[in-house]
Chains A and B, each alone.
Chain A
Amino acid sequence: MSYLLEILGPLLEGTAVTLQVFLISFVLAVPLGLLLALARISRCTALGGLVNGYLWLMRGTPLMLQMLFIYFALPFVPVIGVRLPDFPAAIVAFVLNYAAYFAEIFRAGIQSIDRGQYEGARVLGLTYVQTMRRIVLPQVLKRILPPMSNETITLVKDTSLIYVLAMNDLLRAARGIVQRDFTTMPFVVAAAFYLLMTLVLTVGFQRLERKLAVYDG
């Protein structure tokens, strides 16, 4: 028991890193994903094509490779080359990658809304932005909750990839103790922490879903 308390400190510190990376990435990737989705379905085909290419790149290469590239290779790229510390590099990688997946979820949601909703809003005088904000996106939110829940939970677990940048997240902290003490106990605790985090998210998404269940459609 005292051993458990002893390893709890470093594991909690690791959890804090994991949570920070998750929260910041999520909060930034969602709006970027929405913008990408709107650009993808916009009437400007050049913009749509550009976004298409971006999605291909982000979904077609490993997230770990993207992270390594942003951290190690980006400083040597002409013009846009910057050297990012590990934390911002990780965030940039997660945001760029997850925005691509969120974009496709948003696109599916937006395109599932009946054309009549746009026409109904338009004849009442709503602008495109007002129509999106007040009429379309609230309905999209309800429809995309299940896939968004999926991706969000995956993001929590994917944060463990930051070990390649030698950042001390929950999993790396656990692994460090395992290698030091020759016990698998830290892995069990880490698993419990991940489960707890994803449980909170799952319940949160379920609540939101239930709240939006007051209307059909």
Chain B
Amino acid sequence: MASPMIEARDLHKRFAAVEVLRGVSLDVERGEVVAVIGPSGSGKSTFLRCLNHLETIDRGRIDIEGETLVATDADGVCRYSSDATSRRICRRMGMVFQHFNLFPHLTVLQNVIEAPITVKGLRRDEIVPQAEDLLRKVGLLDKRESYPSRLSGGQKQRVAIARALAMEPDIMLFDEPTSALDPELTGEVLRTIRELAEEHMTMLVVTHEMAFAREVASRVVFMDGGEIVEARPARDLFASPAHPRTRAFLDHML
């Protein structure tokens, strides 16, 4: 059997005195869309950021498509793979941030083609048609020459998605992609993510959008206090949460 796209085992992480992750384990299979929900401070964003090495874990093991990003040996020493290896592994995961993190000095098109040219060494004329297709897909081809500051939040986030897709990742990580948006702009971003789900992109989405999680995710993970409280198919979890903490959270959110 093929190894899971993401295999996280017993992740531990602390910031100073606060234990943010307390033994988080999760497998994500190819084509799965997993929504991670939970109260703020539950560790869900940190969990996501550990998967692509934006944060380091203190203990545990992460394999991406069968390749080890980090492992902990019998003595409890946590070892990351070399810089180059880790960068190569993490490149298979595209990431979309809450605050977009577009490059303000580059136009929309330049934002999308920057990494394929700089990192993959593609020629401009090789990547531009592809980038234009991606921009068309997210509905922003007409903005190709605009600078990010001229775009609305929803447009920025769609550019960020196109930028991540331009590196042809196998997995997409979304860290609260709509949390910084005005409510009327979340729809366009969620629609784009939903389209990716329909194309069977493997995705891990940290979100506060319960309706979106229920509709799009194949599985929903509820995190609280640095642990995964339950992880079940979306329909089941929303219809009959098994754990009282999940029930309390959902009652509060819905």
Asked if A116 is at the interface of the complex by the 8 Å CB criterion, the answer is yes
* A127 CB, min distance to chain B CBs, angstroms: 7
Asked if B214 is at the interface of the complex by the 8 Å CB criterion, the answer is no
Total contacting residues, chain A, CB less than 8 A: 23
* A3 CB, min distance to chain B CBs, angstroms: 52
Asked if A181 is at the interface of the complex by the 8 Å CB criterion, the answer is no
A117 and B103 contact, CB distance less than 8 A: yes
Q: Which residues of A contact B97 (CB under 8 A)?
A: 116, 119-120
* B107 CB, min distance to chain A CBs, angstroms: 8
B87 and A127 contact, CB distance less than 8 A: yes
* A19 CB, min distance to chain B CBs, angstroms: 32
Asked if B95 is at the interface of the complex by the 8 Å CB criterion, the answer is yes
A124 and B105 contact, CB distance less than 8 A: no
Q: How far is the CA of A85 from the CA of B173 in the complex (A)?
A: 61
A139 and B119 contact, CB distance less than 8 A: no
A130 and B118 contact, CB distance less than 8 A: yes
Asked if B26 is at the interface of the complex by the 8 Å CB criterion, the answer is no
What's the dominant secondary structure at chain A's contact region?
A: helix
- Chain B 138-173 per-residue mask, 1 if CB under 8 angstroms from chain A, else 0: 000000000111000000000000011001000000
Asked if B90 is at the interface of the complex by the 8 Å CB criterion, the answer is yes
Asked if B102 is at the interface of the complex by the 8 Å CB criterion, the answer is yes
Closest B residue to A217 by CB, please name it. B104
Q: How far is the CA of A117 from the CA of B90 in the complex (A)?
A: 17
Please provide the chain A residues from 98 to 155 with a CB less than 8 Å away from any CB of chain B in the complex. 114, 116-117, 119-127, 130, 134-135, 138-139, 142
B54 and A214 contact, CB distance less than 8 A: no
* A138 CB, min distance to chain B CBs, angstroms: 5
A126 and B115 contact, CB distance less than 8 A: yes
Asked if B7 is at the interface of the complex by the 8 Å CB criterion, the answer is no
A123 and B94 contact, CB distance less than 8 A: yes
Total contacting residues, chain B, CB less than 8 A: 27
Q: Which residues of B contact A130 (CB under 8 A)?
A: 118-119
Partner of B167, one of A119, A125, A214, A215: A125
Q: Which residues of A contact B93 (CB under 8 A)?
A: 123
Residue among A122, A123, A135 with the highest chain B CB neighbour number at 10 A:
A123
Q: Which residues of A contact B163 (CB under 8 A)?
A: 124
Closest B residue to A128 by CB, please name it. B83
Partner of B95, one of A123, A127, A134, A142: A123
Q: How far is the CA of A135 from the CA of B52 in the complex (A)?
A: 20
Q: How far is the CA of A119 from the CA of B114 in the complex (A)?
A: 15
Asked if A6 is at the interface of the complex by the 8 Å CB criterion, the answer is no
Please provide the chain B residues from 92 to 117 with a CB less than 8 Å away from any CB of chain A in the complex. 93-95, 97, 99-105, 114-115
Partner of A142, one of B54, B105, B114, B118: B105
Q: How far is the CA of A217 from the CA of B119 in the complex (A)?
A: 24
* A117 CB, min distance to chain B CBs, angstroms: 6
Q: Which residues of B contact A215 (CB under 8 A)?
A: 104-105, 147-149
Q: How far is the CA of A117 from the CA of B52 in the complex (A)?
A: 16
B99 and A126 contact, CB distance less than 8 A: no
B105 and A126 contact, CB distance less than 8 A: no
Closest B residue to A123 by CB, please name it. B95
A123 and B103 contact, CB distance less than 8 A: no
Q: Which residues of B contact A119 (CB under 8 A)?
A: 54, 97, 101
Chain B interface (Cβ < 8 Å from any Cβ of A): 52, 54, 87-88, 90-91, 93-95, 97, 99-105, 114-115, 118-119, 147-149, 163-164, 167
Besides the contacts A130-B118, A216-B149, what 8 more A-B pairs have beta carbons closer than 8 Å?
A116-B101, A119-B54, A124-B91, A124-B114, A125-B87, A134-B118, A216-B104, A217-B105
Chain A interface (Cβ < 8 Å from any Cβ of B): 114, 116-117, 119-127, 130, 134-135, 138-139, 142, 212, 214-217
In the A-B complex, the 7 residue pairs with the smallest Cβ-Cβ separation, listed nearest first, are A217-B104, A120-B101, A124-B115, A216-B149, A116-B101, A125-B91, A123-B95
A-B contacts, 6 of them at CB < 8 A, read A120-B103, A123-B164, A135-B103, A139-B105, A215-B149, A216-B149
